Amino acid sequence: MKKFLKPVAFLSLSVLTLISCSNDDENSNSDQVIQAEELPASAKTFVTTYFPNTTYTRVEKNNQVEPDGTLYEVNLSNGFEVDFSSEGNWLDVDGQTQELPQGIVPESIANYVIQNYADLQMIGIDTESTEYEIDLSNGLDLYFTLAGEFVREENN
């Protein structure tokens, strides 16, 4: 009888483990693709203002707000990716290798980059709770206060 109970117990534990793993996978991956019309008005205005000749290729709403505040992740037909908060404020704009449109980067930061890194392009900007991060085309990251004052640079 003991020989019979050990395999049954092992098999039961194995099945329970597999079931619990598959449920975890389903719950953790419940971000949903939505229509662009479902974005907050300010997010749609941002896209039409800075990317007027592009279309949405994918709009995703996260199942919960990420630590950086991102709720919506938007991919555009020109290769740009933009993350928005639940209110529709942009948090991150990533041009991959393309230069950011004028006006996204605060003027004081744009002026600093033009004066000190004239041969490089700004290809990404990320707003965080206490600073901006600017990605340059050579892989260098520049950090600024929210008031636009230069803090430091880091190699990516």
pLDDT tens readout for residues 19-70: 344 444 444 456 899 999 999 999 999 999 999 999 999 999 999 999 888 9
**Are 14 and 43 within one domain?**
no
**Are 63 and 79 within one domain?**
yes
pLDDT tens readout for residues 62-98: 999 998 889 999 999 999 999 999 999 999 999 999 9
**Are 67 and 109 within one domain?**
no
**Are 82 and 103 within one domain?**
no
Number of folded domains in the chain? Answer: 3
Domain that holds residue 44: 31-88
**Are 143 and 109 within one domain?**
yes
Please identify, among 59, 88, 117, the residue that sits at the C-terminal boundary of a domain.
Answer: 88
Of 51, 53, 128, the closest CA to residue 85 belongs to: 128
Beta bridge partners of 122: 136
Please state, as a whole number, how many other Cβ atoms lie within 10 Å of the Cβ of residue 100. 20
Match 């329970």 to its residue by tokens. 16
Give every CB contact of residue 89 below 8 A, 6+ residues apart in sequence. 42, 43
> CATH number for the domain including 156?
3.40.1420.30
**Are 113 and 81 within one domain?**
no
The CA–CA distances, whole Å, from 41 to 14, 47, 88 equal: 49, 10, 7
**Are 120 and 148 within one domain?**
yes
**Are 22 and 52 within one domain?**
no
Q: What is the pLDDT of residue 12?
A: 45
Query: Quick one: three-class SS letters along 40-89?
Result: CHHHHHHHHHHCCCCCEEEEEECCCCCCCCCCEEEEECCCCEEEECCCCC
